[in-house]
Amino acid sequence: MQEVGGKNFEECIGQVPTFLNHISGSMHEMGYSTGRAYLDLEFDLPESYIALGSLFFINDVTLPRIRQYDFVGKQFVKLEKVFESYDRGLLKCRMLRKAKFPKDFWPTVKWGRKGYMHCRFRFDQTIYDFVNVHLFHDESNIALIHENPSLYSENRKRALNFVLNELKRVNEDDKHSYPLFLFGDLNFRLDLQSFLNRITDDTDLREDSTESTQSSICSTDGCGDLLTASSQHTNELKPLTDFRRTVSAIEFRRSPDNFTSDISTSCVLRIEKKLFDYFNHKRLLNEWQGYLEDDREAHNFPYLRELNINFPPTYPWSENPDESESLMKTRAPAWCDRVLMNARALEIVKRDKFAKYDSFGKDVCMGDHK
């Protein structure tokens, strides 16, 4: 679970226990009487709050073969046949590790609740690591084009490598690499330059900009070439005005001569800080296979593997219940929500011919991720 309690968590966090009880009741009816839920609901502790939730349900038949790891006692312990939920004092909980990413990862930006949560289980003699992660998002569409295309992906890479290094540190005494499943809102985005080239063919780029002024005061004997002739021999303070141009929007336009049967408007795509308005948003959803190859961010982690993606982008879906099967016009579509694994975990998954990698809730309103 990501963003437990939703975006308005202070108001909605009280609904989480009811939701959790509904899930556990349904799982119990299907023969999963044993469960453990770890939910970070302590928004009153901002230095450690990550709003993540990890739920584990165990089939009654396999329960005798499963143990959970106690990170403090450094031993595996037997699980009682009961559903237990923990939502307070998780920093002191022996059965998981959780952490917020260090502030120095990007000290100039307030990233809120990004971090990870780690639990470990043993099934027979095989040990499994499960890590729930929420990585940094893209703050501005404009910045990706005008500042640095890898501005945000580099910080995600740094954060995820931090998680992987922490796993190595925990395993240092053992020196074993256990099957690892790493999942959550990794916020992976498309290679924007490649994607834009794909969907804005035969267009011209136009920018809208605003000018802002920044004034400062300095003495006339310390302003160098900015001094005027009349003030060269005085020591008075002079106001300096610096005009700064800021790009507020980018449009990809097609001339009337290039109109086609499917494009009857001159503006093919308009991009603002939090706007990605394509002339045919349904096409982005229906023809996602055409730009799947622009999803390359997972390649930054050669240590990790993933099953083939055979589902549409998981973000940004409409949060309007009446438009739940449409993408919002806020960001470029992306496969943000992933399940990655190491080679040992992938080998185990591939033994199961019924294993399926897919998104769910495609036909219902579940928020902007699904």
Instruction: Return phi, psi of residue 89, to 5°.
Output: 65, 35
The residue type found at 71 is: F
For the cut 70, the answer to whether the pLDDT of residue 247 exceeds it is yes
State the residue for tokens 């099957």: 179
108, part of any domain? yes
24, part of any domain? yes
Q: Are 237 and 317 contained in the same domain?
A: no
Q: Are 94 and 212 contained in the same domain?
A: no
Q: Are 125 and 220 contained in the same domain?
A: no
Q: Are 153 and 295 contained in the same domain?
A: yes
**Average pLDDT score over residue span 347-366:** 92
Copy the structure tokens of residue 17.
Answer: 């226990």
Tell me: the pLDDT tens digits for 197-231? 999 988 998 988 765 545 444 444 444 333 333 33
State the residue for tokens 């059965």: 95
310, part of any domain? yes
48 vs 89, 97, 227, 361, CA distance in Å?
11, 12, 51, 30
For the cut 50, the answer to whether the pLDDT of residue 337 exceeds it is yes
Query: Long-range contacts: 239-246, Cβ < 8 Å, 24+?
Result: 239/215, 240/215, 240/216, 241/213, 241/214, 241/215, 242/213, 242/214, 242/215, 242/216, 243/211, 243/212, 243/213, 244/211, 244/212, 244/213, 244/214, 245/209, 245/210, 245/211, 246/209, 246/210, 246/211, 246/212
CA dihedral angle for residue 350, residue 351, residue 352, residue 357, rounded to 10 degrees: -10
Give the pLDDT of residue 367: 85
Instruction: Return phi, psi of residue 188, to 5°.
Output: -60, 135
Give the pLDDT of residue 92: 94
259, part of any domain? no
41, part of any domain? yes
Per-residue buried b or exposed e for 26-37, using 16+ beta carbons within 10 Å of the residue's own CB: ebeeeebbbbbb
Q: Is the peptide bond before 316 cis (omega within 30 degrees of 0)?
A: yes
**At 114, which CATH number?**
3.60.10
Tell me: the pLDDT tens digits for 142-201? 988 887 778 899 999 999 999 999 999 888 666 668 999 999 999 999 999 999 999 998
For the cut 70, the answer to whether the pLDDT of residue 61 exceeds it is yes
Q: Are 177 and 45 contained in the same domain?
A: yes
Give the pLDDT of residue 112: 76
Domain of residue 34: give its range. Answer: 9-190+281-350
For the cut 80, the answer to whether the pLDDT of residue 109 exceeds it is no
Among the ranges given (53-67, 257-271, 317-331), the one the predictor scored with the smallest mean pLDDT: 257-271
Q: Are 225 and 286 contained in the same domain?
A: no
Dihedral sign computed on CA atoms, order 93, 94, 95, 101: positive
Give the pLDDT of residue 237: 41
Q: How far apart, in whole angstroms, are the C-alpha atoms of residue 14 and residue 330?
A: 29
Other C-beta atoms closer than 10 Å to the C-beta of 114 total 22
Give the pLDDT of residue 228: 34
Instruction: Return phi, psi of residue 320, to 5°.
Output: -90, 120
Instruction: Return phi, psi of residue 181, to 5°.
Output: -115, 120
260, part of any domain? no
Give the pLDDT of residue 209: 75
Give the pLDDT of residue 224: 39
290, part of any domain? yes
Copy the structure tokens of residue 12.
Answer: 């909605």
139, part of any domain? yes
Q: Are 67 and 103 contained in the same domain?
A: yes
H helix intervals, the chain: 9-12, 16-29, 141-146, 153-170, 192-199, 281-286, 343-350
Other C-beta atoms closer than 10 Å to the C-beta of 133 total 25
**Average pLDDT score over residue span 337-346:** 97
Query: For 209, which DSSP code?
Result: E
Q: Are 101 and 212 contained in the same domain?
A: no
Give the pLDDT of residue 164: 95
Q: Are 177 and 321 contained in the same domain?
A: yes
Helices H, strands E: what count in the chain? 7, 14
Domain count, the chain: 2
**Average pLDDT score over residue span 82-98:** 95
Q: Are 305 and 238 contained in the same domain?
A: no
Q: What are the residues whose beta carbons fall under 8 Å from the beta carbon of 187, sequence distance 6 or more?
A: 134, 135, 136, 137, 138, 152, 156, 334, 336
Q: Are 224 and 338 contained in the same domain?
A: no
**Average pLDDT score over residue span 272-278:** 96
Q: Are 180 and 215 contained in the same domain?
A: no
DSSP of 294-307: G--GGGG-TT-B-P
Is 370 strand, coil or helix? coil
